[in-house]
Copies of this chain bind each other. A is one copy, B any other.
Amino acid sequence: MRIGFVGLGRMGRGIAGRLLGGGHELAVYNRTPEKAADLVAAGATAAASIAMVCERREVVVTMVSDDAALADVAMRAGGLRDALPAGAIHLVMGTHGVAIVRELAQAHAAAGQTLVAAPVLGRPDAAAAGQISIVAAGPAGALSRCEPLFAIIGRRTFVAGETPEAATSIKLANNFVLGCAVEAMAEAYALVRRHDVAPQVLYDVMTDGLFAAPAYKIYGKIMVEAGYDQVGFTTRLALKDMRLVLAAAEAAGVPMPSASVLRDRLVGAIAHGDADRDWSVLAREQARAAGIE
């Protein structure tokens, strides 16, 4: 398939590499062209602009960092909406807000194009190995056309429905549930520390039983070791995600008190200088609130 790809951060490069390795004809574009070098060496075409990366493509994937970047590549003059051929698909794989996905889907529809939202779950190394999961939503025909790509990119695809925001909401909900687990552990560790219990014991209890899952094993471990400088996901990015969650909730008429609690602790952690640490540093922020640290 003739595919364009915009956004060559770590996730983007992993996914683009999979597509290229799967035998597709790939044109790539990144604001900083150096990041395209490895892909070009492996056979991709470097496009000099958004317009060029859209030329004669059946699908153009975007994997950009936030809503502002998505608006910039897709909605400004010369962006995807202007440049994408009629009938083509804009496959949005980044994590975005519900509002922009809805707005952009309408803009593409008006131009005879189709937006498919397909945010992913997993880390860059999983992306490079084709081991991420994909949550996809969009018109059924367009989803079918993307299926061969999903099969190369990830290990499993969850179909959320025909409206792209459905996939967005699932992705945000999943991140929110993770954030609640992190916050819950942060509070729980503070409680047991104040009762003179070694955090490791709570970790063992949790992960042996009801919570024998990566969310608790990964972030619970970092908290026990206070290893917040090995960063998987920063506090700052977590706050960005919670902002998207709260905006989606507000737009849909859903009070989400746990999201607000999480948001407040993230704001506090940033106020205390932990913006660029791993977001499990919420355990330290919670400890501060309890007068421990």
Which A residues are within 8 Å of any B CB, using their own CB?
98, 121-122, 133, 135, 156, 158-161, 163, 165-166, 168-170, 172-174, 176-178, 180-181, 183-185, 187-192, 194-198, 201-202, 204-206, 208-216, 239, 243, 245, 248-250, 252-261, 263-265, 267-268, 270-273, 288-291
Cross-chain contact of A166 among B170, B174, B197, B267 (Cβ < 8 A): B197
Query: Are A170 and B192 within 8 A (Cβ)?
Result: yes
Query: Are A254 and B191 within 8 A (Cβ)?
Result: yes
Query: Are B289 and A289 within 8 A (Cβ)?
Result: yes
Chain A residues touching B, majority SS:
helix
Query: Are A289 and B268 within 8 A (Cβ)?
Result: yes
Q: How long is the Cα–Cα vector from A247 to B252 in the complex, in angstroms?
A: 19
Cross-chain contact of A208 among B133, B206, B290 (Cβ < 8 A): B133
Question: 6 shortest A-B CB distances, which residue pairs?
Answer: A253-B271, A260-B260, A180-B184, A213-B213, A271-B291, A194-B252
Cross-chain contact of A187 among B184, B208, B256 (Cβ < 8 A): B256
- 10 A-B pairs within 8 Å (CB atoms) are namely A159-B201, A174-B209, A177-B181, A184-B184, A187-B256, A194-B252, A194-B253, A212-B214, A252-B290, A257-B257
Query: Are A156 and B208 within 8 A (Cβ)?
Result: yes
Query: Are A201 and B255 within 8 A (Cβ)?
Result: no
Query: Are A290 and B121 within 8 A (Cβ)?
Result: no
Chain B nearest CB, measured from A278 CB (Å):
15
Give the residue name and chain of the B residue nearest to A161 (CB).
B197
Task: Contacts A177-B206, A210-B178 given; indicate if A271 touches B290 (C-beta within 8 A).
Answer: yes
Which B residues lie within 8 Å of A197 (CB)? 160-161, 166, 169-170
Which B residues lie within 8 Å of A170 (CB)? 192, 197, 201-202, 205
Which B residues lie within 8 Å of A265 (CB)? 255, 257
Q: How long is the Cα–Cα vector from A192 to B135 in the complex, in angstroms?
A: 13
Chain B nearest CB, measured from A218 CB (Å):
8
Q: How long is the Cα–Cα vector from A187 to B178 in the complex, in angstroms?
A: 12
Which B residues lie within 8 Å of A160 (CB)? 197, 201
Query: Are A135 and B205 within 8 A (Cβ)?
Result: yes
Cross-chain contact of A180 among B180, B254, B288 (Cβ < 8 A): B180
